[in-house]
Amino acid sequence: MYRFRRLFAAVAVGLLSIAPVAAAPRDDASLVDAGRSLGRAPLIFHDARTCAPVVRIQICIDDVSAYFGTTDGNARLGAISGAGPKPYDRLLAYITDGDPANIDPVLGWANVVRAPKSDDAREGQLKDAGIVSTLIASANGNASNQVPAFPPTFDAAQRPASDDPDLFSPQDRALLVSLGAADASQGTFIIRKANVEAVTAAASSLAQHADTRFPVHAAPNFRYDKSPAGYLRLGVAFATVLEYFELPQLATLQRAVRSSLQGCRRATTRRAVRALMR
């Protein structure tokens, strides 16, 4: 009898260990943020100097890592003609150490690696909204040329957009569907010069809706107080804000800058910051 109990316990433990564990549902804000992260990654490929601000180093590494998921980044990027050995490792080294000898400019123009897609329609739409609001909206003002051949990440066309009225406007959903359709038909996602203004304008509108519903958290949430460390944080935040203004290609960060500035203004040293901003 005792042996049967032990056998039953062993089988039960074994079954538990192989039983599928349901993943916890992600909230809408985190899904849009995940999309923003996927949208920032191609911008990093295109110009890794966007990771120059120190507060962005870990965020950039997380963005690039999320873009490749669990796949071998070196193997996938290595398929690009002209890429040197271990381009993924070198990209991370550039972000961490800032050594330009590590960056391979071919990544920004010839990359064809796709980001991982979602199986769930609602998740996919929210992620796509984050991607569009970051990647396409950042091309605003670049109407003199086509948007660079960023790797396709949209899959809205493969999954009909949700009719949930709480999710963005009908125009926003139409944009997601049209971008997904273009991705599916062209194989490579490129916004042509002929419609770049219209698409980026629509994407900017979507970005405004997304940012209103799901605020951007693209910078650390510094804790300001009247301590040496608090003033040190304020100095880091202030200089970082100025650095962001040097990076106009990142519309998402531009919007984060405004919220950072508001944080500075709420800080105890608001008088000093005001004086500096004059």
Partner 1 sequence: MKDLYMPLFAAIGETATEEFTLGTVVAQTGFNAGSHRSSQTFDAVMTIAAKIPRPSDMPAEYASKITGLRACVGTDFTCQRRAAKSIVDSLTKP
Q: Is residue 154 a contact point for partner 1 (CB under 8 A)? A: no
* 260 lies in the binding site for partner 1 (CB under 8 A): no
Which 211-230 positions form the footprint of partner 1 (CB under 8 A)?
220, 222, 228-230
Told to check if 189 binds partner 1 by CB under 8 A, we report no
Q: Does 239 bind partner 1 (CB under 8 A)?
A: yes
> According to CB under 8 A, which one of 62, 246, 258, 270 is a site residue for partner 1?
246
- Does 276 bind partner 1 (CB under 8 A)? Our answer is yes
Rg (the chain; Cα; Å):
22
Q: Among residues 50, 57, 60, 48, which one has the least CA distance to residue 111?
A: 48
Instruction: Indicate the burial class of 22 (C-beta count within 10 angstroms; 0-12, 13-18, 19 or more).
Output: exposed
Binding mask 74-103 for partner 1 (x = CB under 8 A): ---------------------xxxxxx---
Least distance to partner 1, CB of residue 232, Å = 4
In the stretch 40-69, what mask flags binding to partner 1 with x, by CB under 8 A? ---------x-xxxxx-xx-----------
Q: Which is nearer to partner 1, 61 or 181 (CB)?
A: 61
Distances from the Cα of 58 to the Cα of 95, 197, 219, angstroms? 9, 33, 11
- Considering the complex, what minimum distance in angstroms separates the CB of residue 33 from partner 1? 17
> Which of 14, 82, 160, 235: binder of partner 1 (CB under 8 A)?
235
Rounded distance, CA 271 to CA 278, Å? 11
Torsion, CA 101, CA 106, CA 112, CA 118, rounded to 10:
40
Token look-up 């960023």 returns 150
242 binds partner 1 (CB under 8 A): yes
Amino acid present at 6: R
**138 CB-near residues (< 8 Å, 6+ apart):** 39, 43, 249, 250, 251, 252
Backbone angles phi, psi at 257, to 5 degrees: -60, -45
Residues that bind partner 1 (rule: CB under 8 A) add up to a total of 36
Binding site for partner 1 (CB under 8 A): 49, 51-55, 57-58, 95-100, 220, 222, 228-240, 242-243, 246, 269, 272, 275-276
